[in-house]
Structure 1
Amino acid sequence: MRSLAIEKYCKPQDYEILDLPVPEIKSADELLIKVHAGSINPVDVKVATGAMKTFWPVPMPLKLGHDLSGTVIAVGSDVPGHFKPGTEVYSRSPEYCSGTVSEYALSTASTTALKPSSLSHIQAAAIPLASLTALQALDAADKNIDGGLKGKKVLIPGGLSGTGSIAIQLAKNVFGASKVITTLSTAKAAKAESLLGEGVVDQIIDYTKNDMAAVIPRGSVDFMFDTMGQALASLHLIKKGGMIVSVSSLPFGSDLKDLAPNMPAIIRWTLNSIGAVSKYRARRYGVDYSCLFMRPSAADLTRLSGWIEEGKLKPVVGRVTGLENLKEIREGCEEVLSGKGGTGKFVIKIGAISHGGGA
């Protein structure tokens, strides 16, 4: 089968389309899926550079991608009956099943859900990792902030990123935030309402013209979802009793226990120490700070599907290309790696799509 893959750590300009074996079901909870579309996330391209190899080594060749939308081909013996050959699904596959930008991929029943019928495969492939990250961050805030997020002021920088765009919609349309603030460039600010919905964003700060710290009143934000590494610089904007959840800071060593069980103790200790310092700084402002490491979850994907079908959420898809177009794939992956210029998710179509509302 064709697969976007690397044979050594490298940057996107060296990615290849390799001919690799079709994966085989080896565990009772696994599904083999014919992939119709897969998307690329920042973690995919960062791991491929080798930047995380000290505590997250990967075998080569490495097939890229963790998000997919496709059709079930075969199932293991313990897979629930609602998954059967021909079922359309979407998934954020577990780490050992990486390689969703391929003609076929494995996932598990615990990380796979039925594809929302209102979405095409290209749209559905843009959902899993980014939306699970956003949902789990907002769940944490809703649980830990007094009174939950309903009626609260929420700050989500980078509002047209894959994760930010879903987080904004969740905050307003699902969790009931009274005010959602984001940061965008001048060009992207003009697109926000059409992509996210009317009235979903209450305040857009053009970061090319203004520093958000100079625009947002001190101590006025209940919750910040840090998607751009601005958590500690923004502590003074958060109310006492408020919370910051970051997905762009170094994870705590304990968060990587399952992913990297062989991580050297000194690295785990170092990450925990850095995290402890950050939490201490936040506590001085009366703010709860945590770093989120997303967990794949079929249950959470099913919750997201419900809100999608109700019209409360819609994916923001930016670039779309085909697996046969390596030049465009490399360009799109480079854009994801740089974190500059892109809007929404970069999705790669795998072959002809004949189900679920077309492309």
Structure 2
Amino acid sequence: MKAVVLKSFGDVDALAVQDMPEPEFGPGDVKVRVTAAGINPVDSKIRRGEMQELMPVTFPTILGRDVSGEVMEVGANVKGFQPGDRVMGMVHGGYAEVVVAPANVWAKVPHSLELRDAAALPMVTLTGAQLIEEQVKPARGDTVLITGALGAVGRAAIHAAHALGVKVWAGVRAQQAEQARRELNMEGVVAIDRPEEVAKLPTLDAVADTVGGKAVTPVLDKVKRGGKVCSVVGEPVGAKERGLVGSFFLSHPDGPRLARLAESVAKGELLIPIAQTFPLDAAKEAQKHAETAGTGKVLLVN
């Protein structure tokens, strides 16, 4: 099979398109012919060697956590999937023509969704939903600020929080505020880079951070003592020093939850924008574009 291979840590020139053997296939696995693969920020971080402590890799390795495609074969112990099914999943080695992963990571793609576009969903929707449901764990009526609200993970987090009856504030940069009000259909939008707007925020029960770094610092003083600051980017800086509960969260595959999130996308309740698509052979250009594309997902298409 053709795949995009990372041969060493470095810039995009460390990526090469070459023939690789198909992944090993076991009795609990599903083999999928990949239609499209999503590019995520973690892919570039792995490529640069920034995730080696949390996600060690050996070379050569195939990047990519998001795929959609058609089932080629199912293992002897697999129930619920059959050849020809349209599926998507959060996997390893997605920048390839064929992917093998355990059955429980896969979800069927709703009929109304384009199979290619489904590759944009797995990692970002699961990350946003799990951030809220497994880390923040807000009670109905709690007030939660979500940073990076226009990003794909932020949108999924807002969707999950609204489903729990949470009072949501969408944190964005000042230049994104009008776009956020329009696209998210929310009045509770705050420019977290404007101190005068942050000062008007109500007391927060928690912050769900999808941006990291210093972006979240301006709002920490608005979180009640003992409140939570949960991030998908890194340990929240300054949270514990203010008497807050800080945590860093890594998402994980979850086929059933992904299926539910995909249905929300199919119904128009959750929008994950796609910025651009590239052929698999153009993975270098695709990763470069993804690093500067803003809020839309970038896909590699076979």
Same fold (TM over 0.5): yes
Residue 202 of structure 1 aligns with an amino acid whose one-letter code is: G
Where does residue 296 of structure 2 map in the other structure?
A: 344
Per-residue CA distance 1:104-126 (angstroms, 9 max, x = gap): 11111111111122221232111
Matching of residue 134 in structure 1 with residue 128 in structure 2: yes
Aligned sequence identity (%): 29
Matching of residue 220 in structure 1 with residue 210 in structure 2: no
TM-score with structure 1 setting the length: 0.75
Matching of residue 205 in structure 1 with residue 191 in structure 2: yes
Which one has more relative contact order, counting CA pairs under 8 Å at least 6 apart? Answer: 1
Deviation at 1:159, TM superposition (A): 1.8
Per-residue CA distance 1:260-319 (angstroms, 9 max, x = gap): xxxxxxxxxxxxxxx9x967425x2xx332221212111221231343344321222223
Deviation at 1:135, TM superposition (A): 0.7
Q: Tell me if the contact between 1:63 and 1:100 (Cα under 8 Å) persists in the aligned partners.
A: yes
Q: For 1:114 and 1:201, locate their aligned partners in 2 and report how far apart those are by CA, in whole Å.
A: 34
Where does residue 86 of structure 1 map in the other structure?
A: 84
Indicate how the Cα distance of structure 1 residues 297 and 179 shifts in structure 2: closer, same or farther if over 3 A, else same.
closer
Q: For 2:271 and 2:134, locate their aligned partners in 1 and report how far apart those are by CA, in whole Å.
A: 22
Per-residue CA distance 1:144-164 (angstroms, 9 max, x = gap): x4xx1x333321121222211
Question: Helix, strand or coil: the match of 1:325?
Answer: helix
TM-score with structure 2 setting the length: 0.88
Deviation at 1:328, TM superposition (A): 2.8
Residue 313 of structure 1 aligns with an amino acid whose one-letter code is: L
Q: Tell me if the contact between 2:232 and 2:249 (Cα under 8 Å) persists in the aligned partners.
A: yes
Where does residue 156 of structure 1 map in the other structure?
A: 146
Question: Helix, strand or coil: the match of 1:9?
Answer: coil
Question: Helix, strand or coil: the match of 2:88?
Answer: strand
Counterparts of residues 1-359 of structure 1 (less than 5 Å):
1-25=1-25, 27-54=26-53, 56-80=55-79, 82-93=80-91, 98-140=92-134, 143=137, 145=138, 148=139, 150-172=140-162, 174-184=163-173, 186=175, 188-193=176-181, 195-196=183-184, 199-200=185-186, 202-205=188-191, 207=193, 210-211=194-195, 215-217=198-200, 220-229=203-212, 230-231=215-216, 234-250=219-235, 280-282=240-242, 284=243, 287-326=244-283, 328-333=285-290, 335=291, 340-350=292-302
Question: Helix, strand or coil: the match of 1:156?
Answer: strand
Deviation at 1:190, TM superposition (A): 4.4
Q: For 1:179 and 1:5, locate their aligned partners in 2 and report how far apart those are by CA, in whole Å.
A: 41
> Is there any run of 5+ residues in structure 1 with no aligned partner, and where?
251-274, 351-359
Indicate how the Cα distance of structure 1 residues 15 and 191 shifts in structure 2: closer, same or farther if over 3 A, else same.
farther
Q: Tell me if the contact between 1:37 and 1:125 (Cα under 8 Å) persists in the aligned partners.
A: yes
Indicate how the Cα distance of structure 1 residues 315 and 3 shifts in structure 2: closer, same or farther if over 3 A, else same.
same
- Superposed CA RMSD in Å reads 2.6
Residue 244 of structure 1 aligns with an amino acid whose one-letter code is: V
Indicate how the Cα distance of structure 1 residues 204 and 120 shifts in structure 2: closer, same or farther if over 3 A, else same.
farther
Q: Tell me if the contact between 1:159 and 1:184 (Cα under 8 Å) persists in the aligned partners.
A: no
Per-residue CA distance 1:249-270 (angstroms, 9 max, x = gap): 14xxxxxxxxxxxxxxxxxxxx
Structure 1 or 2: more strand by fraction: 2
Indicate how the Cα distance of structure 1 residues 60 and 33 shifts in structure 2: closer, same or farther if over 3 A, else same.
same
Q: For 1:175 and 1:60, locate their aligned partners in 2 and report how far apart those are by CA, in whole Å.
A: 43
Q: For 1:104 and 1:20, locate their aligned partners in 2 and report how far apart those are by CA, in whole Å.
A: 10
Where does residue 264 of structure 1 map in the other structure?
A: none
Deviation at 1:100, TM superposition (A): 0.7
